């Protein structure tokens, strides 16, 4: 515990010691009380003036109403049953083995044409650190043990280059000239942004042009205890963590990148998570299929290997409801093992591999 600040005051020619007490800003304290977070000021009296100033600014930077809504929603959902769900309709899925050669060729060419016209952007969700791999570096920088020694970032950059060459080849064969570059938007976090930028700069963007890569940061959200109270990283700083892949929406908006995409003439977005060494970045067939179906969003899926496999699955929320993902921890074991009598497959078999397409 720090020593209290002592100031000397003159009284009748003598020196009298007194402790300088400065309470937290009343208005901010009342706001914290409204949300049950006044404990953030619990160690106020032990802080130096600079630390107090840091704590006030840290709390003022939080969107308390939004954070409170998230916390309350999370606490209310604990222990509640998952809402009624239905399997994804068979007609909504195109499996690899069921596609005809004509369909494959048509979707392939359709996708390459859109890429050649500059209508596709790639959006990488890359805010996480490689802690599970024993590294504090961004996941994309980590050596994952391939014989080539290539990182995830390098693999994905080289695949973008490959698709660009394929699109240029199709354009030249069709009598056109040139082909647009695929713009790569990379979402980082405050914890990985600087290291990610330096990694790309140090490797000369793996052959890509620097101006076709845009980095932007996702937001953060306070860490909370099981009862919803802020966890303090230090006595004068609230602990925070990246706001997850879902934070991409607010991050794109706050960074004005939706306007940037519109300026570039981008119409379609290929979005995926960084920790996928097998991902087909800017897959022309997937893009062509997406365009052909005329939908606003699509996802690649992989069939579950067995009922207890720990993967989230796509479901339909009720009859005719929207498609969404239910995590394996939320799916009742009886539903996880239920069999579709017509197909012989699991009723809920289409797992989420975090690879999506959408319109911009």
Same domain, 120 and 228: yes
| pLDDT (mean) for 136-154 | 91
Same domain, 201 and 319: yes
Same domain, 316 and 340: yes
Asked if residue 170 belongs to a domain, the reply is: yes
pLDDT, tens digit, 9 for 90 and up, residues 56-89: 999 999 999 999 999 998 888 776 566 688 999 8
The answer, yes or no, to whether residue 11 has pLDDT greater than 50, is no
| pLDDT (mean) for 137-158 | 93
First to last CA, the chain: 54
The whole-number pLDDT of residue 131 equals 66
Q: Where are the alpha helices (DSSP H) in 142-192?
A: 152-173
Same domain, 60 and 95: no
The answer, yes or no, to whether residue 3 has pLDDT greater than 70, is no
Asked if residue 203 belongs to a domain, the reply is: yes
The answer, yes or no, to whether residue 8 has pLDDT greater than 60, is no
Same domain, 232 and 341: yes
Same domain, 123 and 54: no
**How many domains is the chain built from?**
2
Same domain, 300 and 262: yes
| pLDDT (mean) for 90-104 | 89
Query: Which residues lie closer than 8 Å to 315 by C-beta, 6 or more apart?
Result: 85, 86, 87, 88, 323, 324, 325, 326, 348
Among candidates 179, 187, 153, 161, which has minimal Cα distance to 271? 187
Same domain, 198 and 158: yes
Asked if residue 7 belongs to a domain, the reply is: no
Task: Give the end of a domain, one of 77, 94, 120.
Answer: 77
The whole-number pLDDT of residue 228 equals 94
CATH classification at residue 174: 3.90.550.10
pTM score, two decimals? 0.85
Same domain, 99 and 136: yes
The whole-number pLDDT of residue 176 equals 64
The torsion region of residue 95 among left (phi > 0), alpha (psi -120 to 50) and beta comes to beta
105: domain range? Answer: 85-359
Asked if residue 102 belongs to a domain, the reply is: yes
């Amino acid at each position: 515990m720090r020593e209290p600040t002592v100031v000397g005051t003159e009284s009748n020619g003598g020196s009298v010691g007194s402790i300088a007490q400065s309470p937290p800003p009343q208005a901010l304290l009342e706001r914290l009380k409204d949300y049950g977070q006044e404990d953030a000021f619990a160690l106020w009296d032990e802080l130096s003036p600079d630390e107090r100033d840091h704590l006030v600014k840290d709390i003022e930077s939080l969107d308390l109403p939004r954070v409170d809504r998230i916390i309350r929603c999370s606490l209310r959902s604990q222990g509640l049953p998952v809402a009624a769900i239905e399997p994804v309709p068979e007609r909504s899925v195109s499996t690899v083995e069921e596609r005809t050669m004509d369909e494959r060729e048509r979707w392939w060419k359709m996708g390459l044409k859109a890429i050649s016209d500059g209508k596709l952007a790639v959006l990488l969700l890359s805010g996480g650190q490689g802690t599970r791999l024993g590294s504090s570096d961004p996941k994309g920088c980590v050596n994952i043990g391939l014989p080539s020694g290539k990182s995830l970032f390098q693999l994905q950059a080289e695949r973008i280059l490959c698709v660009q060459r394929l699109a240029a080849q199709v354009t030249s064969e069709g009598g056109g000239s040139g082909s647009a570059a695929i713009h790569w938007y990379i979402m980082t976090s405050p914890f990985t942004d600087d290291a990610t930028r330096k990694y790309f700069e140090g490797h000369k963007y793996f052959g890509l042009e620097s101006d076709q890569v845009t980095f932007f940061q996702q937001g953060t959200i306070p860490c909370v205890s099981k009862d919803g109270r802020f966890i303090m990283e230090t006595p004068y700083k609230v602990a925070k963590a990246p706001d997850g892949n879902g934070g991409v929406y607010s991050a794109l908006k706050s960074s004005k990148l939706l306007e940037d995409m519109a300026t570039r003439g981008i119409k379609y977005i290929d979005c995926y998570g960084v920790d996928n060494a097998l991902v087909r970045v800017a897959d022309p067939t997937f893009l062509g299929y997406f365009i052909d179906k005329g939908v606003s969003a699509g996802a690649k899926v992989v069939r579950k290997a067995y009922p207890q496999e720990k993967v989230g699955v796509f479901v339909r929320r009720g009859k005719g409801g929207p498609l969404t993902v239910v995590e394996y921890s939320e799916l009742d074991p009886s539903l996880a093992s239920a069999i579709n009598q017509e197909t012989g497959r699991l009723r809920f078999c289409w797992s989420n591999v975090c690879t999506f397409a959408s319109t911009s």
